[in-house]
Structure 1
Amino acid sequence: MATGNKQSPRLDYLLAASSARMDRWRELNARALAWAAGARGERAAVEAALAEVAPLEDFFAYPGPRLLKTLADRIAADDAYGVGRLVRRLSGSMLSGRYRYDSGDWETADDSADHLPDRVPLAPGGESHRPYFETLLVTPWPAAQRAGIAQEIRRLRRNEDAMIYEPVLVGSVEDAILGTILNGKVEAVVIYDGIPVPSQHDVPLLREVLASQGLDTSSLVPREIGVALARIIKRIRPELDIYLLTDRRVEELAGDPAASMIRRVFYEVEELMEVHLNILEGVADRLETPHFDNLKRYAARPISTFHALPIARGKSIMKSNWIHDMGEFYGLNLFLAETSATTGGLDSMLEPTGTIKRAQEKFARAVGADHVFFVTNGTSTSNKMVYQAVTKPGDIVIVDRNCHKSHHYGMVLSGAQPLYVEAYPMTEYSMYGAVPLRIIKRALLDLKAEGKLDRVKMVTLTNCTFDGHVYNTLRVMKECLAIKPDLLFLWDEAWFGFARFTPFLRPRTAMGAAAALEEWRASPAALTAYEAQAAELGEDLDPADPRLLERSL
C-alpha cells in the first residue's frame, strides 16, 4: 500500500510503534464508523486515515496486502457500510490477537459474525492454540510477486508443526531494519543476497539513529550487504534467528567469523521446505524451557513423597471436607509438583548438571551474559552473594547512598567498607536523580591521591533508580576504568530488567554497555583515543589535574 513517494507519511515513531499503530487504527475505525453513519465528507477522512495506516502495515503480516486492498476497493466503490464493518473486524482482531488462531479473520468476506475481543484468560483445560510468530523475509523480488511467494510459504505448513508463522516480505536493508524494530512478533529473519539498501519509505529518523550507533547503511558494500544486515539486526535484536540465502560459496561464508551471527547459510536454490524447517527448529530451541518441562514430567510421575505427608501430593486437600476449595483455587498441578532436595529428579541448584544447568545456559544467552546462576531468594540475596564473592575485609566500595539496603547488608557480611556518594536532589519533584559522574570520578581521584586506589574494588549504582533515572552506563564505566582499569561494577537493575529486550534501552543496561565497551576496547579507535589522552594528560593520571573532571576520559 505504500506509494514510495516523498509525500508518504514518515515512519518516525520508532520508540512507540505498537501504540502508534493502534492509535492510527482507532482513528481509521472512528472515521469509518462516522462515514457508515452517514456523515458528510467522511470518505476523504477515511482515505486520509488509511494513508496514515498503510505504510506501517508493510511490516506486519496482518491484515496484510490482500485485506488492505479489499478495504481500498470498498472505499473506491463508495461502500461506507462495508468499509466500517471491515475496519471494525480488522482492528478488533489486532487488538485481541484473534488472527493468530482464527483463519476466518484472514478472509476478505464478511460472512463470519463479528467477534468480541478475548479479554478473559484461558481457563485450565480450555482450548489451546499453536504458538504464532512472524518471519521477516528480506528479498530482492519485486513487490508484485511477494503475495505469491507468501502463499507458497504458507503451503509449507504441516499439521504436525508445533508452531505457526506468517511471512512478512520486505525488499531493502532499511526496510528490514524497520521490520525488526517495529514488529515485535518477528522471531526469525531470512535474508537473500542482492537486496538494495534504501527504504521505499521516508525514514530520516531511522538513518539518524543508525548513524548515532555507527551503523551507516549508505556505506555498505554490495557483496557484503547480507552479512552486514545480519550484523545490524543482531545488534538491534540479538534474540532473533537469522538465515542467509546466497549464491556465494557457502562453506567459506559459514566459516567466516564475521558471519557468526547467522544461524545457517543456504544456497539460494535450496528448497523452501529446508528453510521452513530450520525456522521452526530455531524458534523451538528458544521456546524450550528445560526446568519447567522437567517439572511437568516430574508432576506426572506416579510416585509417593514422604517429606510432607500432610499434603500427600494434594490428596489430603482435594478429599478434605473443609479445605478442598484451596485445591480448586491453586489447582492440582501445584501439589503434584511437590518436591524437595530428598526426592531427586529435578537437578540441583547447588551443583546443576542437568535441566537447571541447561536453563541457566539458555538464560545467559537471552541476557547476553557469559554465565547465569539461579538463586532462590531474589535480588537482595543476589546482591549479598556478589559482595561476598568479589570483596574482602578492607576493600572499598564506592556506593550510591540511596542504594537498596541489601547492599549495606552485603558489605557487612563481606567486611568491605562503603564510600558513599550522593545523588543529586530534585526537590521540586520530591525525588533524587542519579549520582553525577563527576562525583564518582572525584571519589576515585581523591582515593588515588590518598594512596588508597588499590583498595577500591567496586562501584555500586542503581540503574534505573527508584524514580526512573537511567545512567549513561557506557560512559560511567569507560571513564572510571580510565582511572582504575581493574574496577568492578555492580549495577543494581532490579527495576530495569525489561530494558534488555528493548532495542533503544539495551545500550543503557549494564550488559548492553559492557558488550559495547568490550567491542570498543578491542578496536583501533580505542588505542588511538588512549594515545591521544596519554599525550595530553600523561599515562599516569594526576589526581590533582582539574582537567580530569572537566573532560571525558
Structure 2
Amino acid sequence: MTDSSSCTPPTRSLISASLATPALRADRWLAVLSLARKWSGNNAVDIKKNLSSSLGKLDELEKFFAYPGAQLLDRLKNCLIEDDNKAFLRLAQRISTTIVSRKYHRDASSWNMDDHEDEPLNRLPQAITHLKNTPYFEVLSVVPHAPSRWPIIQEEARGVRRPEDDFIYQPVVVGNAQDALTGILLNPDISAVVLYEGFAAQNAVDNPLLAAFQSVIDFSTIEDDETLVLQLAQAIKKIRPEMDIYLLSDRNIETLAGKPESRLFNRIFYQMEEPLELHLSILEGIRNRYRTPFFDNLKRYAQRPIATFHALPIARGKSVFTSNWISDMGEFYGPNLFLAESSATTGGLDSLLEPTGNIKDAQAMAAQAFGADHAFFVTNGTSTSNKMVLQALLAPGDIVILDRNCHKSHHYGCVLAGALPYYVEAFPLAEYSMYGGVPLRTIKQALLTLKAHGDLERVKMVDLTNCTFDGHVYDTRRVIGRVPCH
C-alpha cells in the first residue's frame, strides 16, 4: 500500500469555476421582466435605474450567446432611454420567454425586429405536435477584426444557409482567446469553433475566469499567432473534447497542416476561400456527431418488407393489429415498435454478441463520447450492467468496500463473482428520515481494519452510489483523491 500522499487529488475542474450557467441567465432575464412589469405600472426613477443596472450585467453574459443578439438588445436599451415602458415590457417579455423556452431554436420569428406581442408558447413536445424541427446549434467565431465588423461576419454566415441544410446554426463572434474559452464554458449550444488567425490573446477587461484558464492555457508563453492558435485549440479540446475546430489562415497553411498538432483541427482553410466550403464543413462535422449507426439502421430495417416465420406472437404487429382483443395495444404503441422487432434471423441488424457492423460503429462512437477506450451495449438495464461490471472486475475471495444502501444488484454481483462485501454505513439524517453518503473517515477506517487483519491486498473495489437514492451527491474528485491507493 502506498502513502496516501502519492495519490494526489485531481485539480479543481475548470467547469466548476464557471460563474454563470444557462439557468442563471434565464433567472436574470426573468428578473428584468419582473422589473419591467413594475416599471410599466409605476414609472419610478429608481425602477428605471435598477433596469439599467440589470441590463448592464446582462451585457457581460449575452455576448456569448447568439440570441437575442446585439440588435434586439440595443432596441431594448433604446426603449429604456426613451422612457417607453410599454414597448420595453413587450420586448422584455418576448426575449425572456423565448430564452426560457428556447423558442429561438425552432422559430425563426423570434429573431424579428418587429414590435409585436409575444405569441402564446406551444408547450407540447414535438412528438405530439408532429412538427418537424431542424436541429439548432451555434458556432463561435474568434476573429481579429474590430467589433464594428462583427455584424458583417454574422450576416455572411447566415447568407450561406440553404433550405436543404440538415441543421441550422447562428454565429457568435468574439475577438480574443479568453472570451473564446469563456464562451464554450457558458454556452452549451456552441458546437463548433472557427478560428481566424490573428486574434488577440486576452481581453482588455478583467475576466473573472482568467485564473481558472491557467490550468489549460498559459498566455505568458505565447510568442506568435501560430502558437496562440494551437494553444487555444488544445485548451478548447481539454474543456470540450467533442468540439469541432476549424482554422482560417492566410499564410503557409501547407506547413501548418503538416504538423502533428494540426490534427486538432477538423479542417484548415485559406482565409480567402469560399465561405460556402466552411459552412458545408461545419454541417458535415455536426452530421458525423449526429449520426446514430444502430438507430439509423433500425429505422431502415422497420421500413423493409420482411417475412417472419418465428417469434409469431409479435410478427411485425400483425397478430396485434388484427386482434379482436388487443388492438388497443397497437394503438397505444403505434406500428413502429412492432415493425422494428429485431429478433428475426434474416440479418440486417448486426450481432450484439459479435458486432461487426452498425453496432460496432455505435459502440465506438459511444466510447469516444464518454472518453473511454471501449463501450459495450447490453440488452438489460442498470441492474444487469452492475452485475456484469462486478463480475468483470472481481475474482472469488476479493473484498469489496460496499455501501450497505447500494442497490441490491451490487450485492448480487458480489454473490455471482464469489467476492466478499465489507459493508460500510452512510450517515443518517434523522431529521429528514433519510441517509446521506458514506463518510470518507468510514471508508478509511474500513481499510485500516482490513490492513490490521492482513486482508488489505484483497480489497479490489470501493462501491458507492452517486447520487444516493435520497439525492445526495459525493464530491467524486475528493473521494478519489482522499481514498488511499494500493
TM-score (norm 2): 0.87
Q: Is the 8 A contact 2:237 2:243 kept in 1?
A: yes
- The 3 A distance-change label for structure 1 pair 356 and 76 is same
Establish whether residue 171 from structure 1 lines up as the match of residue 172 from structure 2: no
Instruction: Select 1:190's aligned residue among 178, 181, 194.
Output: 194
Q: Is the 8 A contact 1:207 1:216 kept in 2?
A: no
Alignment-mate amino acid for residue 351 of structure 1: E
Establish whether residue 20 from structure 1 lines up as the match of residue 20 from structure 2: no
What is the match of residue 461 of structure 1?
464
Establish whether residue 118 from structure 1 lines up as the match of residue 122 from structure 2: yes
Q: Deviations over 1:116-144 (max 9, x none)?
A: 11201224572202111101111121111
Establish whether residue 383 from structure 1 lines up as the match of residue 380 from structure 2: no
Shift of 1:31: 2.8
What is the match of residue 139 of structure 1?
143
Q: Tell me how far apart the structure 1 counterparts of residues 20 and 322 of structure 2 sit (CA, whole Å).
A: 51
- The 3 A distance-change label for structure 1 pair 222 and 431 is farther
Q: Is the 8 A contact 2:76 2:88 kept in 1?
A: yes
Q: Deviations over 1:506-538 (max 9, x none)?
A: xxxxxxxxxxxxxxxxxxxxxxxxxxxxxxxxx
Shift of 1:201: 5.1
- 3-state SS of the aligned residue for 2:67? coil
Q: Tell me how far apart the structure 1 counterparts of residues 310 and 151 of structure 2 sit (CA, whole Å).
A: 61
Shift of 1:262: 3.1
- The 3 A distance-change label for structure 1 pair 455 and 22 is closer
Shift of 1:253: 4.0
What is the match of residue 410 of structure 2?
407
Instruction: Select 1:68's aligned residue among 54, 66, 73.
Output: 73
Establish whether residue 235 from structure 1 lines up as the match of residue 238 from structure 2: yes
What is the match of residue 52 of structure 2?
47
- The 3 A distance-change label for structure 1 pair 412 and 141 is same
Q: Map 1:118-517 onto structure 2 (within 5 A).
A: 118-123=122-127, 126-199=130-203, 202-204=206-208, 206-211=209-214, 214-215=215-216, 217-223=218-224, 224-247=227-250, 249-254=252-257, 256-258=259-261, 260-444=263-447, 447-448=450-451, 450-474=453-477, 476-477=479-480, 482=485, 484=486
Q: Tell me how far apart the structure 1 counterparts of residues 297 and 129 of structure 2 sit (CA, whole Å).
A: 20
Alignment-mate amino acid for residue 79 of structure 2: R
Shift of 1:462: 2.5
Q: Tell me how far apart the structure 1 counterparts of residues 211 and 414 of structure 2 sit (CA, whole Å).
A: 44
Q: Deviations over 1:277-300 (max 9, x none)?
A: 111111111111111111111111
Q: Is the 8 A contact 1:220 1:228 kept in 2?
A: no
Q: Deviations over 1:71-119 (max 9, x none)?
A: 22333333332222222222232233332333322221225x5311120
Shift of 1:158: 1.4
Alignment-mate amino acid for residue 142 of structure 2: V
- The 3 A distance-change label for structure 1 pair 216 and 159 is closer
- The 3 A distance-change label for structure 1 pair 146 and 310 is same
Alignment-mate amino acid for residue 339 of structure 1: S
Q: Deviations over 1:397-429 (max 9, x none)?
A: 333333222121111111122233444444455
Q: Deviations over 1:152-186 (max 9, x none)?
A: 11111112211110000011222111211211111
- 3-state SS of the aligned residue for 2:21? helix
Q: Tell me how far apart the structure 1 counterparts of residues 245 and 399 of structure 2 sit (CA, whole Å).
A: 45
Alignment-mate amino acid for residue 84 of structure 1: L
Q: Tell me how far apart the structure 2 counterparts of residues 98 and 423 of structure 1 sit (CA, whole Å).
A: 44
Q: Tell me how far apart the structure 1 counterparts of residues 196 and 420 of structure 2 sit (CA, whole Å).
A: 57
- 3-state SS of the aligned residue for 1:110? coil
TM-score (norm 1): 0.77
- The 3 A distance-change label for structure 1 pair 337 and 149 is same
| Gap runs ≥5 in structure 1 | 1-11, 485-553
- 3-state SS of the aligned residue for 2:36? helix
- 3-state SS of the aligned residue for 1:244? strand
- The 3 A distance-change label for structure 1 pair 97 and 381 is same
Shift of 1:357: 1.1
Q: Deviations over 1:250-277 (max 9, x none)?
A: 4554454555443333333433222211
Q: Tell me how far apart the structure 2 counterparts of residues 144 and 441 of structure 1 sit (CA, whole Å).
A: 60
- The 3 A distance-change label for structure 1 pair 161 and 464 is same
Q: Tell me how far apart the structure 2 counterparts of residues 209 and 429 of structure 1 sit (CA, whole Å).
A: 37
Instruction: Select 2:102's aligned residue among 97, 100, 104.
Output: 97
Q: Deviations over 1:444-477 (max 9, x none)?
A: 4554555544433333233333344444544544
Q: Tell me how far apart the structure 2 counterparts of residues 155 and 392 of structure 1 sit (CA, whole Å).
A: 62
My pick for the range that moved more, 266-275 or 255-264, is 255-264
Q: Tell me how far apart the structure 2 counterparts of residues 473 and 181 of structure 1 sit (CA, whole Å).
A: 21
Q: Is the 8 A contact 1:96 1:118 kept in 2?
A: no
Shift of 1:315: 3.5
Alignment-mate amino acid for residue 169 of structure 1: V
Q: Is the 8 A contact 2:217 2:232 kept in 1?
A: no
Q: How many residues are paired up?
A: 468
What is the match of residue 112 of structure 2?
107
- The 3 A distance-change label for structure 1 pair 329 and 35 is same
| Gap runs ≥5 in structure 2 | 1-15
- The 3 A distance-change label for structure 1 pair 395 and 217 is same
- The 3 A distance-change label for structure 1 pair 390 and 114 is closer
Greater RCO structure (CA 8 Å; 6+ sep): 2
Q: Is the 8 A contact 2:216 2:238 kept in 1?
A: no
Q: Tell me how far apart the structure 2 counterparts of residues 222 and 430 of structure 1 sit (CA, whole Å).
A: 60
- 3-state SS of the aligned residue for 1:189? strand
- 3-state SS of the aligned residue for 1:462? coil
Shift of 1:247: 4.2
